[in-house]
Structures are given as C-alpha cells and as structure tokens.
C-alpha cells in the first residue's frame, strides 16, 4: 500500500502541524541567536493545496522569490526547501548584516552566502525537531539557492509531490523582529519510499 | 487582453480564435503549446512529470507529458482543429537548482522535454520551436492569431518563438 498526503486526516495533520511548530520554534531561536535580537513567531500553519493553486502560495506566480534547497539523507531521504519572498529575504539579510531595514540593492556574493546560511540554519532546526520526535537519523546536505519566479521555484517541490499525489503540503511560518515581519514556507519533501517511514515514525500509521 | 485563459500547474486548456493561453512561472515543468494555423485553434498544457507509466498515481492526466498531449489534441479536434495541421512549441524544462545533478529530482526538467518530444513525434506533430533548459523560470503566452509563443523571464529577457 502506498501512502499519500491526499489521504491524511485531521489527527495526522495535527502531528505534522506540531512538528512544524517545534521546528519553527527551534528555527526562531536559531534566528534570534544569529541576529542577536528577540524574534517572535506565529503558530505555523499546515497547508495543503492542489497543484493548480500552487502559485498562490507566495502571492503571484511571477513574483521573484528566494528558494533554499537541502537534500536529506539518512533514515529518511528526500529534500527540504525554505522559500520566502525576495523582499523578505532582503529584510532578513539587512538585519543580519546590520544594515537599515529599508536598504535595497541586488544581493551580492556575501548576501547570497548569508541567505544560504539562513536557509541552512532554519531547515536544520526544523529537521532536528523532526529527528528528535521520530528518532530517525536525518542529515541535511549543504544548501543550494535559487532566485526566480515563484512558480518556477515552487515547481521543484510540486513535482516531487506530484510523483505520489495531487497536492502539495507545506508549513507557513511567520517570524517577526520588532516591526519587521518575515513569512517563509517550509516544504518537507520525502522521497516516495520515505512517506511510510515518516508516518510510521510519527505513530500515524502502524 | 481579450479571452486570456490561465493554465495552472498540471492543467491544460484549449481555445478558438481569438484567444490567448498563458501559464505562469514554468520551472522544471514544461509548457506544451499546440497550434493549427488553418483554424487558429490553440492548446496549452503545463505538465510536471514525463510519463504516466512510471507514476503510482496517474489520475490527473494533465500532470504527465504523454497523457496531457493526447488529451490536448482531442480537445482541440473537438473545437474543430485539423489533426494534420497541428504544430508544437515547447518551453520550460529548466533545472532550478544546480547541485546534485545526478539525481532524478534535478534532471526532471530535461526528462520532461525528452518525453514530450517522444510523444509528439509518435503522434507526428512537428516541434517547430522550443526554448527549453537553462536554470531559470519562464512565463509563456500563446496567441491564436499567428501561433506565436511569447516567453518572459526574470533576468534573461523576453523572446518570441
């Protein structure tokens, strides 16, 4: 029997939401340490969308977004992607680099490196929460980054989800620091073979 | 713009003249644009995966290159298109992330293009133009008046094929 996110019930979604919650909590702590400031977060929202609505995830399909992708190996294989709007990425990098929040320019090499590191730390925190909860050994690769149209970046996780179902599951997380608020989405993308391992480890299926 | 129809991910649409079909932000997905110049009937599919035969769940025929093309041609014939006059243009199939090129997730764009071409060749539909590959996203618009396909990108310009 194959498992598929289309069939998840509310209880199962709650489990995923809770992982999102703990993972995002860890991520907010990591972000706070990195920025050396207080970072608040909203309760993450677990969302499931049909493919034809995927481009609504970040507003417009053609708007530029930043995607940071890490491969996952270990007991669980697949990938994890953190995606945020171009402007939000600019704000985060400004915070990290100690620049004024409204500073705006093309990302330079150092900025891109900082963004990868942000993606690395956030995804890493998320994965360690998942690993702690499931007792699964989960190892992320080094991050890779792409900046392009939202639709194009989102096609990467969507295609992977497409191999098993007709929907995309993601976790919307909102971080805020002072008056600045940054919304980012996590896509945990298990390989086809890893769905069962993940759901079993979570106690969702026996 | 009159009668502009949006084609979502894993979706396909066809239209009579005058019409415009558009799909936004193609990444590794491929946009398959079909056109019959005699009747000016157009069709556009936004496919995500190369083959319905390799998938566990293949209910959504617009998701796969092989099944989407067959359905799109059927839809266009219903609108009155002439089967032997249909030509194809392809766009998309890029590789958004550069690392780890050996794994399937990374080569999916390329495989989508190959699979689309195989199916088109099997159906004897000539591919008259393509803008595929690379590492960037594309938005495409297909116009019924002359079958032109407008390809827009961020940072790689706009072109017409």
Segments of chain A with pLDDT less than 50 = 1
User: Complex ipTM above 0.90?
Assistant: no
Cβ neighbours of A162 in B, within 8 Å:
10, 48-49, 55, 63
Over residues B36-49, the pLDDT tens digits come to 999 999 999 999 99
Q: Where residue B40 sits, what CATH number does that domain have?
A: 3.30.1330.200
Most A CBs within 10 Å, among B8, B9, B93, B152, to test the A interface: B9
Total number of domains in chain B: 1
pLDDT tens string B109-125 = 889 999 999 999 999 99
Q: Chain B 50-109, CB below 8 Å of chain A: which residues?
A: 55-57, 59-60, 63, 94, 96-100, 103, 105, 108
pLDDT in tens, B128-160: 999 998 889 999 999 999 999 999 998 888 999
The reply to whether residue B48 touches residue A51, judged by beta carbons under 8 angstroms, is yes
Question: Which residue segments constitute the domains of chain A, with CATH numbers given?
Answer: 5-201 (3.40.1550.10)
The pLDDT > 90 percentage for chain B reads 65
Could you read off the pLDDT of B23-38 as tens digits, one per residue? 998 999 999 999 999 9
Domain that residue B69 falls in: 4-160
pLDDT tens for each residue of B38-77: 999 999 999 999 988 876 667 788 999 999 999 999 999 9
CB pair distance less than 8 Å for A155 and B138: no
The predicted pLDDT at position B103 comes to 58
Distance from CA of B84 to the nearest CA of A (A): 31
**Quick one: pLDDT at residue A67?**
93
Does this model's pTM top 0.90? My answer is no
Whole-angstrom CA distances from B53 to A113, B50, B64, B68 are 41, 9, 9, 13
Mutation for B interface: A4, A6, A7, A51, most B CBs within 10 A: A51
């Amino acid at each position: 029997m194959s498992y598929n996110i289309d069939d998840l019930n509310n209880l199962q979604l709650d489990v995923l939401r809770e992982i999102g919650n703990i993972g995002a909590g860890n991520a907010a702590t990591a972000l706070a340490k990195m920025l050396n400031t207080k970072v608040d977060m909203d309760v993450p929202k677990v969302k499931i969308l049909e493919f034809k609505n995927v481009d609504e995830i970040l507003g417009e399909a053609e708007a530029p977004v930043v995607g940071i992708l890490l491969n996952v190996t270990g007991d669980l294989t697949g990938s994890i992607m953190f995606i945020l709007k171009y402007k939000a990425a600019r704000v985060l990098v400004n915070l990290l680099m100690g620049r004024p929040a409204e500073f705006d320019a093309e990302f330079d090499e150092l900025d891109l490196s900082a963004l990868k590191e942000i993606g690395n730390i956030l995804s890493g925190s998320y994965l360690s929460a998942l690993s702690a909860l499931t007792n699964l050994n989960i190892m992320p690769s080094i991050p890779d980054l792409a900046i392009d149209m939202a639709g194009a970046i989102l096609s990467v996780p969507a295609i992977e989800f497409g191999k098993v179902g007709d929907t995309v599951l993601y976790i919307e997380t909102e971080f805020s620091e002072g008056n600045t608020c940054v919304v980012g989405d996590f896509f945990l993308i298990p390989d086809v073979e890893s769905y069962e391992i993940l759901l079993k480890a979570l106690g969702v299926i026996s | 713009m009159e009668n502009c129809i949006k084609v979502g991910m894993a979706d396909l649409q066809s239209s009579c003249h005058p019409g415009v079909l558009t799909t936004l932000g193609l990444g590794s997905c491929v946009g398959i644009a079909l056109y019959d110049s005699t009747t000016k009937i157009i069709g556009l599919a936004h496919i995500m995966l190369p083959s319905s035969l390799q998938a566990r769940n293949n209910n959504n025929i617009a998701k796969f290159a092989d099944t989407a093309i067959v359905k799109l041609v059927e839809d266009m014939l219903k609108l009155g298109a002439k089967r032997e006059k249909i030509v194809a243009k392809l766009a998309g199939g890029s590789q958004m992330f550069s690392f780890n090129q050996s794994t399937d997730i990374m080569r999916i764009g390329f495989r989508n293009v190959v699979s689309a071409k195989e199916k088109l060749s099997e159906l004897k539909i000539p591919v008259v133009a393509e803008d595929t590959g690379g590492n960037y996203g594309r938005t495409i618009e297909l116009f019924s008046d002359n079958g032109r396909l407008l390809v827009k990108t961020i940072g790689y310009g706009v072109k017409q094929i």
